[in-house]
Amino acid sequence: MLHFFQRPRSPFKTGVLVLIWGWMLTFVLLPNVMIIFTSVMTRGDSHFIEWQLTLDNYIRVFDPLYLQVFISSLWMAVITTLICLIIGYPFAFAISRFPAHVKPFLMLLVIIPFWTNSLVRTYALKVLLATKGLLNQSLLSLGLIDTPLRMLYTEGAVILGLVYVLLPFMILPLYAVFDQLNYNYIEAAQDLGASKIKTFWHLVIPLTMPGIIAGSLLVLLPAMGMFYIADLLGGAKHLLIGNLIKNQFLDARDWPFGATASIFLTSAMAILLYAYWRSIKLMKQQVNV
């Protein structure tokens, strides 16, 4: 086996490696390095940036005007993540306890929204939530409310939209860990005298941590970037970091500041990715035992 992998290089292998490395370097590594550079440059009028080093952009992030957007966006993203986790965790667990022949179908029902256009789904939510929309009409005719509720263009609507679009991203990794969770661990904990609550706290949560972190990663980061959800459901008032970046790049033409804002997003990702790597290590140990 060993020597099989270590055959002298073939032109085919060289070609494949050059292609993939070339692609990743050109379209992933290089652009990201450029963004880091851009973030320490000065805004320019003719060529977007001027070659003048500055840390002004990093200071501007703390301008109350922008800081408020950052904090409110982070807030909405965190709330979205928590709601997705609270809905998705028991849901993923419930699916994993179904008989093996039903599970794929139940998961298919979760995956379908994941495959359908998220813009279209956001739009569908907008139709449902509109002042004269189906939800208000139903509530009115049931006599639960007297005047239509203003549901669109609120923070709640943005969060609902984010939860709606991102929930499958939380459920998928959670289901993956629940499905792999060795039920023997839970029995062993009970055997050693742990109550249901203690078993959940000491065993289930730590052992499903990779799924919790992966799901949070897949929800939290897009929740700060999906500007069209805030646009469609939140109007001009409830902005995400994504809206801010988009405005800086496409409208205000202040690339260095836009780049700085995106670096904050990337740093958040790096922290979560690190947590994910740590927990995945644990997961591998669990599988190997």
Partner 1 sequence: MTHPPSVLVSLKDVSKSYDDKTVLAALDLDIYDGEFVTLLGPSGCGKTTILRLIAGFERPNHGQIILAGEEITQQAAHLRHVNTVFQSYALFPHMSVFDNVAFGLRMEKVAEPEVKERAIQALEMVQLANLAHRRPHQLSGGQQQRVAIARAAVKRPRLLLLDEPLSALDYKLRKQMQNELKRLQRQLGITFIFVTHDQEEALSMSDRVIVMREGHIEQIGTPRQVYENPKTLFVARFVGETNLFDAVIQTKNNHHWTLTLAQQNVCIKARTHLAHLAEGQKVKVLLRPEDMRLYAPADRQALADQPCLSGKVIERNYKGMTLDTVIALEQGGQILVSEFFDEEDPDFDYRLGESVLVSWVANWEVILVDEQVSPSVAVSAVEEV
Partner 2 sequence: MITWLTRGYMTLVYLFLYLPILVLIGYAFNDSRSLYTWGGLSLRWFEAALNNTLLMQATGHSLLLAIVAATGATIVGTLTAIALYRYRFRGKKLLNGLLFTVMMSPDIVMAISLLALFILLGIHLGFISLVLSHITFCIPFIVVTVYSRLSNFNPAILEAAKDLGCNEWQMTRHVLVPIILPAIAAGWLLGFTLSLDDVVVSTFVTGPTYEILPLRIYSMVRVGLKPEVNALATLMLLISLLALLASHLLIKKGSS
- Contacting residues toward partner 1, per CB under 8 A: 182, 184-185, 187-196, 198-199, 202-203, 206-207, 282, 285-286, 288-289
Q: Which of 57, 168, 213, 215 binds partner 2 (CB under 8 A)?
A: 168
How many Cβ atoms are within 10 Å of 85's Cβ, its own excluded? 17
Residues 181 and 282: their CA atoms lie apart, in Å, by 12
H or E stretch at 53: none
Helices 64-96 & 209-225 angle (0-180, nearest 10): 140
Structure tokens at 9: 């290089």
Q: Which does 52 bind (CB under 5 to 8 A by kind): partner 2, partner 1, none?
A: none
Nearest distance in Å: CB 184, partner 1? 4
C-alpha 152/C-alpha 139 separation (Å) is: 15
Question: Cα 159 to the chain's mean position, in Å?
Answer: 13
Report the partner that residue 259 touches, choosing among partner 2, partner 1, none (CB closer than 5 to 8 A by kind).
partner 2
Residue number, 119 or 145, with CB nearest to partner 2: 119
Which residue type sits at 227? F
Q: Quote the crossing angle between the two packed helices 255-288 and 155-180, to the nearest 10°.
A: 30
Q: CA 160, 165, 171 angle in degrees (round to 5)? A: 105
Contact 212, 174 (CB under 8 A): yes
From CA 238, how far away is CA 221, in angstroms rounded? 17
Instruction: Using the minimum distance from each CB to partner 2, give the nearer residue, 177 or 224.
Output: 224
Residue numbers 122-151 binding partner 2 by CB under 8 A: 123-128, 130, 132-134, 137
Q: Cα(222)–Cα(219) distance, rounded to whole angstroms?
A: 6
Contacted entry of partner 2, partner 1, none for residue 71, CB cut-off 5 to 8 Å set by kind: none
Q: Is 258 in the site for partner 2 (CB under 8 A)?
A: yes
Identified binder of partner 2 from the candidate list 16, 59, 252, 271, rule CB under 8 A = 16
Instruction: Please say whether the dihedral angle defined by the alpha carbons of residues 39, 40, 45 and 48, taken in this order, is positive or negative.
Output: negative
**Does residue 195 belong to the site contacting partner 2 (CB under 8 A)?**
no
Type of residue found at 250 = L
Nearer to partner 2, 97 or 196 (CB): 97
Segment interacting with partner 2 (CB under 8 A) among 22-30, 52-60, 174-182, 193-201: 22-30
- Residue 207 CB, shortest distance to partner 1, in Å, is 7
62 binds, among partner 2, partner 1, none (CB under 5 to 8 A by kind): none
115 contacts partner 2 (rule: CB under 8 A): yes
Residue 121's binding partner among partner 2, partner 1, none (Cβ under 5 to 8 angstroms by kind) is partner 2
∠150-154-155 over CA atoms, to 5°? 150
Kindly identify the residues of this chain, within the stretch 51-110, that bind partner 2 according to CB under 8 A.
87, 90-91, 94-95, 97-98, 106, 108-110
Q: Quick one: which of 179, 266, 275, 286 contacts partner 2 (CB under 8 A)?
A: 266
- Report if residue 257 touches partner 2, rule: CB under 8 A: no
Q: Which does 24 bind (CB under 5 to 8 A by kind): partner 2, partner 1, none?
A: partner 2
Residue 68 binds: one of partner 2, partner 1, none (C-beta under 5 to 8 A by kind): none
> Element (H or E) spanning 278, and its range?
helix 255-288
Contacts of 279 (CB under 8 A, 6+ apart): 209, 210, 213
